[in-house]
Amino acid sequence: MTASPYPVREEEITFTAIRAQGAGGQNVNKVSNAVHLRFPVPASSLPEDVKARLLALGDQRITADGTVVIKAQTSRSLEANRADAIGRLQALVDSVAVPPRRRRATRPTLGSQRERLAGKAAKGAVKRQRGRVTDMD
């Protein structure tokens, strides 16, 4: 696995242990094994352009004040859930780490324009033949 260009610093993350949802058995109501991870994007050490792209994502895990909230409860172990939450946060940061390439406008070739117009003419001819049938007598 390649190293992330902008690794998330663990001292900027806040963890809260909570009880996991769903069926679990005798232990589920006694042990807090699920994790809420909170990562304040504006106060983080990420570069400004990465912060801006992260906040512009429109992801439901990002609150109005710019805090990323991730809930991890797939494992029965608290440490495994912490590692899972950190991995998911890092994947979210990595998804916006590289700026999107700007699209360069291009013009369609003359051949592709002619081919498109010929296809439209053929389709129109087929549709014109679908009209009412007249009596030939």
Amino acid at the residue 109: T
Report yes or no: 66 and 39 within 8 Å, Cβ to Cβ. no
In the block, residue with structure tokens 């033949």: 129
Closest CA to 69 of 32, 98, 91, 41: 41
- C-alpha 77/C-alpha 27 separation (Å) is 12
pLDDT digits (tens, 9 = 90+) for 56-71: 998 899 999 999 999 9
Report yes or no: 21 and 67 within 8 Å, Cβ to Cβ. no
Average pLDDT, the chain: 89
Whole-number pLDDT of residue 31: 73
pLDDT at 137 over 70: no
pLDDT at 32 over 90: no
3-class SS string, 73-134: CCCCCHHHHHHHHHHHHHHHHHHCCCCCCCCCCCCCCHHHHHHHHHHHHHHHHHHHCCCCCC
- C-alpha 127/C-alpha 49 separation (Å) is 52
pTM: 0.71
Report yes or no: 30 and 111 within 8 Å, Cβ to Cβ. no
Instruction: Identify the band that residue 135 occupies on the pLDDT scale cut at 50, 70 and 90.
Output: confident
Point out the least confidently predicted range of 2-6, 52-56, 98-102: 2-6
Whole-number pLDDT of residue 2: 61
pLDDT at 29 over 90: no
Query: Right CATH number for 10-95 from 3.30.160.20, 2.60.40.1120, 3.40.1740.10, 3.40.50.170?
Result: 3.30.160.20
pLDDT at 1 over 60: no
